[in-house]
Structure 1
Amino acid sequence: MLYPKPIGRSAAARKYDLLTAMGAFALSQDKSRQRLILRLMTLITARYNWSRDELAVGQREIARLWAIQERTVKREMARLRGMGWLVVKRQGARGRVTEYGLDIERVLDDTRPAWAAVGPDFELRLDGRESAAVVPLPVRGLVAPPELGDGKEWSLAQAVLHAEDPAVYGAWLRALVRGERAGGRLTLTAPSRFHAAYVQTHFIPRLLAACQSVDDSVAQVAVVA
């Protein structure tokens, strides 16, 4: 498996996926391993340069971030190197800190057992099989605006979503059908389990914002198959 480098378009999603995999895996481990991985995740979030695959931070700064002593930093960094998650790219010398890289492929291989706990869409995405499972047809020309005849919140929200992004609307949101409305909870039905999982993962904030823009009593949107 060759995981795309988390830069450029969709980089944010890939970064979140990687951190999610690490977090889910950590939660399945003992307390010592949990603490180690949490420390690495914090260091990555604070100081890792994704575009250059570079982590160049002094032990004193790491100790301050992790709220531990420097000798403990040495031990923890050695453990991370032993796991293969961190790789020394340039050894530190006088006046220069050691530069590390992140072996993303090794991280993903090690965390694979925990992917199922996140969800089937997550497994498909990290396995590189997402595109094989569902390939949305390209939108040719303009997607026709939705009908507003029934005047219900979902019909009105569809018009908002279409106006914001016709391509995304045509590929993922047009197929959603209004289901039950129980108080502030609106349920939408997707044509497949994968479609539902993908929309639930990637578009719920957008769906909720669109629904609330036409009906402020909508507090939650759920997508099911």
Structure 2
Amino acid sequence: MFSTRPVGRGASARKYDLLTALGTYALSQSKHDQRRALRLMTLITARYNWARDELAVGQREIAQLWSVDERTVKREMAMFRAKGWLVVKRQGARGRVTQYGLGIDTLLEDTSTTWGCVGPDFELRMGQGTAEPDVVPLPVRGVVAPPDVSSGAEWSLAQALLHAEDPGTYASWIAALTRAERAGGRLTLRAPSRFHAAYVQTHLAGRLLTACQDVDSEVSELRIVT
């Protein structure tokens, strides 16, 4: 999936991909939501520091950029925070403006329904990427129980292997996946949300397929659906 910090090699393309995703999503919405997204896109394009993941602009300057009054700026910025599209990194104080970061994960989740409108290549690039970066598991409290393997199903056995290898990642991303169907060598798993499915497909698909093949050599393909 799209890097949470679009910097480094290929960064320019990833920045345009994010703006494309946001713009395409906006065009599928009402005129009010379209205008709101256009305001954010303009602000990102004009003032966002991608290298530092930072947006630090005063309300007066934003009002001028958007051709609105400062009251409108205050309302719209609050809306972006509420949606999770902007995240406060440092609260403003006397003589210092609020510093924001982009909520890229939320932006991707909210716009994923319209990626296909751009084209299958864009959807593949945004949803799968080209490599499996390191996965940082979410914090896990207490002991993570191993899966029930009494059914003998290939997915239950594979889950047991994955749990033994990395209980944290298992609890965060793998435990919620359920077996949907098996058709020949293709095993289909169901995720609780589109974002969850896209994340697993991007970061864990290879690891999951290997575990499945370790317990059932006839598994040749793994699909993640919602």
Same fold (TM over 0.5): yes
- Give aligned pairs, total: 132
Residue 6 of structure 1 deviates from its aligned partner by 1.1
Amino acid at match of 2:52: R
Residue 19 of structure 1 deviates from its aligned partner by 0.2
Amino acid at match of 1:49: N
CA distance in 2, matches of 1:3, 1:128: 11
Residue 5 of structure 1 deviates from its aligned partner by 2.2
Deviations 1:46-75 (A, max 9, x none): 000001110000000000000000000000
Worse-matched range after superposition: 123-132 or 11-20? 123-132
Between the aligned residues of both structures, percent identity stands at 68
Instruction: Show structure 2 runs of 5+ residues with no match.
Output: 133-226
CA shift in 2, pair 1:54/1:110, >3 Å:
same
> What's 2:90 paired with?
90
Amino acid at match of 2:45: T
Deviations 1:11-43 (A, max 9, x none): 110000000000000000111111011000000
> What's 1:127 paired with?
127
**Conserved 8 A contact 1:121-1:130:** no
Kindly indicate whether structure 1 or structure 2 has the higher relative contact order, using CA contacts under 8 Å at least 6 residues apart. 2
- 5 Å matches for 1:135-174? none
Question: How high is the TM-score relative to the length of structure 1?
Answer: 0.57
> What's 2:169 paired with?
none
> What's 1:34 paired with?
34
> What's 2:48 paired with?
48
**Conserved 8 A contact 2:5-2:53:** no
Q: Max radius of gyration: which structure?
A: 1
What secondary structure does 2:88 align onto? strand
CA distance in 1, matches of 2:117, 2:19: 14
CA distance in 1, matches of 2:62, 2:102: 16
CA distance in 1, matches of 2:88, 2:59: 14
CA shift in 2, pair 1:9/1:2, >3 Å:
closer
Asked if 1:14 corresponds to 2:14, the answer is yes
CA distance in 1, matches of 2:106, 2:90: 19
**Conserved 8 A contact 2:2-2:127:** no
What secondary structure does 1:107 align onto? helix
CA distance in 2, matches of 1:28, 1:62: 25
Instruction: Show structure 1 runs of 5+ residues with no match.
Output: 133-225
- Aligned Cα RMSD in Å? 1.5
**Conserved 8 A contact 1:3-1:126:** no
**Conserved 8 A contact 1:90-1:99:** yes
CA shift in 2, pair 1:88/1:34, >3 Å:
same
CA distance in 2, matches of 1:90, 1:69: 24
CA shift in 2, pair 1:31/1:63, >3 Å:
same
**Conserved 8 A contact 2:59-2:74:** yes
Question: How high is the TM-score relative to the length of structure 2?
Answer: 0.56
